[in-house]
Amino acid sequence: MAMFRQTALTAFLLLAACRPPASDDYVERGQISSGRQAPSEPIASPDTEGAVWAEALRENRLLYGKPGETPLMALECVESEGDPRLAFTRFARADPHAEAILALIGNSHVVRLFVDAQKQGDAWLWHGSVPADDPQLDVLTGARQVEATVPGAGSMILNPSRLPGELIETCQALASSAPSEPEDPA
């Protein structure tokens, strides 16, 4: 029996020796894409003192920023496949095809919303949307300021306003007034 164990152990060790462990020469054995680029340098957080929410020329759209300057953020009620959604755009440079999370903290809520870099004109900007009836939107309906952060795009304070809450209510009303599909009689 001892001889059998000795033979089995020797066979096992010989088999293990056939497959060497990972080593520093892994680069030579596999291909590594050289097309990866580092993310862009982060931008500074914008100064939002005096920034306000204002109705845009387009219906059901709000812009946030200092009057007379480039907007910092936009909220808009849009329709997607028949369902109203609240779309948000952070007017900050994004790397092409990047994905991130927009964190919103305020009004007793902490919310994380997915954003993707989308090309608008010559620039890539952060954009995302959620269903109009998403309870996470409550973060924008209170009377307190909200901090909005996108990695690499800085953190900014959204000063309190009743306009985002009104836009969200309008968008939710569109969701509840949408015609429902008739039931299948079968």
Range with the poorest average pLDDT among 20-29, 83-92, 142-151: 20-29
pLDDT at 169: 96
pTM here is 0.73
Write the DSSP assignment of 29-85 as a string of letters.
HS---S---PPPPPPPPPP-TT-EEEE-SSTTEEEEE-TTS--SEEEEEEEETTEEE
Dig out the tokens for 119 from the structure.
């090309």
Task: Please check whether the domain covering 52-177 is classified as CATH 2.60.40.
Answer: yes
pLDDT of 26 over the 50 cut: no
pLDDT at 24: 46
Beta pairing partners, 76: 61, 87
- 139-155 mean pLDDT: 93
| 84-136 tens-digit pLDDT | 999 999 999 999 999 999 999 999 999 999 999 999 999 999 999 999 999 99
With tokens 């200092």, the residue in question is: 66
